[in-house]
Structure 1
């Protein structure tokens, strides 16, 4: 056998390996093939190819593994049990940028499914290598590493702390300053994932100087970047007054209000969430939002969208109103009550109705004047019908029913109970049933007192009364 014939055997073997990994990687993109691949023992066959002498085969094998692991936690578990992670981590530090991207993709695909799988990635020493990748010259490698770190961090505080301890945060903050939009998106998302778990973790992100850089990107034209930036700022601001004030001090107002008019629904939602997280802390922060025109802007935003996109804005109005009479009046003056009434009437989801009912309660609970503002919006019959509806959730019913004596008192002093007694309902009708339900919240003599004709009846009794001398 000639030398050429001998070499041909190796060439054929290489072509076969190449074709195998490329075909598996392609097949793994379609969900209907996954089970067949799994049953055929594809994991065990791909594993040795991660150490193949041909770089292209290594990379494609890693890509195929990533696609498989991404599909479900069983396959991700198979990657862990097959001792594939140590190989990936070892190669991640040694190989070229194409392999690094593919290997980081596998780590992300495994880590995303559960805290246990993410912990397996931490245990095999992947964090240090991923952090080194954040300093890579290639932005694609940085992006892949940022993505993997974010997916690990998002599960819980311990995993986030592990990411912090590996030194990722300062490098992620550098990544959000890079020119590549995709890298900035993923790095901002990772910072959000770290920040969300605790004030301490959020403080770590703040200490690395993240807020100023995030705040500068609020007006970036890229919607996906804005989503992540607003999310990260929300996750920082939610934890404490100090952190919320730091976000505000980055001069996010009034620029963040422009995001409430964005064409992207998630940008709107995340902007509303950020404003809500700031507003709920103190009356002073809420007042700052009012002064910036934030309440009116949020009300407009609620009117321009539907469903869960509305929810943070609805709750923000409740948080603002809860702080003080003046802030509740600011919501009333900005026509927040009619908009909340629309949400109450329009939204099919109970949790959104419950939020609207809660916010209306926060507005109306301060004084008779506040309660009257809620009453004149014709909210009360709607609230009552929701309470009576058999398909309303318990949470919604609790939000609607005035359980506390102060709320019942305000309902009387604002003229609500008197108004209810003036409603002419057919005996036995659903409306009459609603009225009876309200009346049952009060002593009988109070209901009689506010019933039409009661004063005349009293006067008649006075006239007919014969004192005993």
Structure 2
């Protein structure tokens, strides 16, 4: 056998390996093929190809493993049990940029499914290698590493702390300053996943100087980047007054209000969420938002969208109104009550209705003037029907009941109370009767005093007929 014939055998073997990994990688893109590939033992066949002498075979094998692991947690667990992770981590530090991207994709695909699988990645020493990849010259490698780190950090505070301890945060902040939009998005997403768990983790992101750079990107024309930027700022601001004030000090107002008019629905939602997370902390922060025109802007945003996109804005109005009479009046003046009433009536989802009911309760609970502003929109009968409906969720019933009680205890607008005399259950009716007594008893006492020359506190109500005519209450014996 000649030398050429011998080499031809190796060439055919290499061609067969190449064809195999390419075909598996292609098949793994279609969900209907996954179970068949799994039953055929594809994982054990791909493992040795990760150490193949041909770089393209290594890369394609890693890509195929990533696509398989991405599909479900059983296949991701098979990657862990097959001792594939140590091979990937070793090669991640040694191989070229194409392999690094494929290996980081596998780590992300495994880590996304559960905290246990993400912990397996941490245990095999992948974090240090991924952090080194954040300093790689190639933006694609940085992006793949940032993505994997974000998927690990998102599960819980312990995993997030592990990512922080590996030194990822300062490098992620550098990544959001890179010119590549895709890298900015993924790095911002990873910072959001780190920040969300605790004030301490959010403070780590703040200490790395992230807020100033993020604030500058609020007006970036890329909608997907804006989503992530607003998300990070929300996750930072939600934890404490101090962190919320740091976000505000980056001069995000009134710039962030323009995002409430964005064409992208999720930019609107994340902008509303950011404003909500700031408003909830103190009356002073809420007043700052009011002064910037934030309440009116959020109300307009609620009117321009539907469903869960509305939810953060609805809650923001409730938080603002809860702080004080003046802030609740600012919501009323900005025509927030009619918009919340529309949400209460039109939205099909109970959790959105519950949020609207809660917000209306926060507005109406302060004074008779506040309660009347809610009552004149015919909201109280809607709240009552939601409370009494057997189809309403328990949370919706509870929040509707609390809202009704809060508003009724301040409401002296009798035309709004009158329907409750006929429809309300006893536990609601007692509040209605209490309000009637507050309004009508002074008239009764004046009437009896004029009759007998003294105040009668024992006047029999059964002798008094109350009639409502021409918007005036009359008393007859």
Q: Normalized against structure 2, the TM-score is what?
A: 0.91
* Post-superposition CA distance 1:179-215 (Å, at most 9, x none): 0000000000000000000000000000000000001
Distance of 1:370 and 1:324 partners within structure 2:
11
Paired position in structure 2 for 1:189: 189
Alignment of 1:14-53 (within 5 A): 14-53=14-53
Paired residues of 1:439 and 1:447 also in contact (CA < 8 A): no
1:231 aligns with 2:220: no
Runs of 4 or more, structure 1, over 6 Å off, are 443-446, 448-451, 454-460
How far apart are residue 442 of structure 1 and its match? Answer: 3.9
Paired position in structure 1 for 2:413: 415
Alignment of 1:231-250 (within 5 A): 231-250=231-250
| Change in 2 beyond 3 A, CA 1:267/1:406 | closer
Paired position in structure 1 for 2:198: 198
Alignment of 1:350-389 (within 5 A): 350-389=350-389
Distance of 1:347 and 1:31 partners within structure 2:
35
Paired residues of 2:421 and 2:432 also in contact (CA < 8 A): no
How far apart are residue 95 of structure 1 and its match? Answer: 0.3
The size of the alignment, in residue pairs, is 451
How far apart are residue 400 of structure 1 and its match? Answer: 1.0
| Change in 2 beyond 3 A, CA 1:258/1:310 | same
| Change in 2 beyond 3 A, CA 1:375/1:9 | same
Paired residues of 2:405 and 2:431 also in contact (CA < 8 A): no
Paired position in structure 2 for 1:440: 429
Report the secondary structure of 2:179's partner residue.
Answer: coil
Distance of 2:81 and 2:406 partners within structure 1:
60
Paired residues of 1:350 and 1:393 also in contact (CA < 8 A): yes
Paired residues of 1:420 and 1:435 also in contact (CA < 8 A): no
Q: Normalized against structure 1, the TM-score is what?
A: 0.92
| Change in 2 beyond 3 A, CA 1:130/1:450 | same
Paired residues of 2:150 and 2:190 also in contact (CA < 8 A): yes
1:166 aligns with 2:166: yes
How far apart are residue 175 of structure 1 and its match? Answer: 0.2
Paired position in structure 1 for 2:137: 137
Distance of 2:53 and 2:434 partners within structure 1:
92
| Change in 2 beyond 3 A, CA 1:460/1:17 | closer
How far apart are residue 276 of structure 1 and its match? Answer: 0.1
Between 399-408 and 26-35, the greater mean CA deviation after superposition: 399-408
Distance of 1:459 and 1:298 partners within structure 2:
48
1:281 aligns with 2:281: yes
How far apart are residue 444 of structure 1 and its match? Answer: 6.3
1:95 aligns with 2:78: no
1:253 aligns with 2:253: yes
Distance of 2:403 and 2:374 partners within structure 1:
17
Give the unaligned 5+ runs of structure 1.
424-430, 464-469
| Change in 2 beyond 3 A, CA 1:443/1:318 | closer
| Change in 2 beyond 3 A, CA 1:357/1:146 | same
| Change in 2 beyond 3 A, CA 1:49/1:335 | same
Distance of 1:263 and 1:445 partners within structure 2:
49
Paired position in structure 1 for 2:302: 302
Report the secondary structure of 2:430's partner residue.
Answer: coil
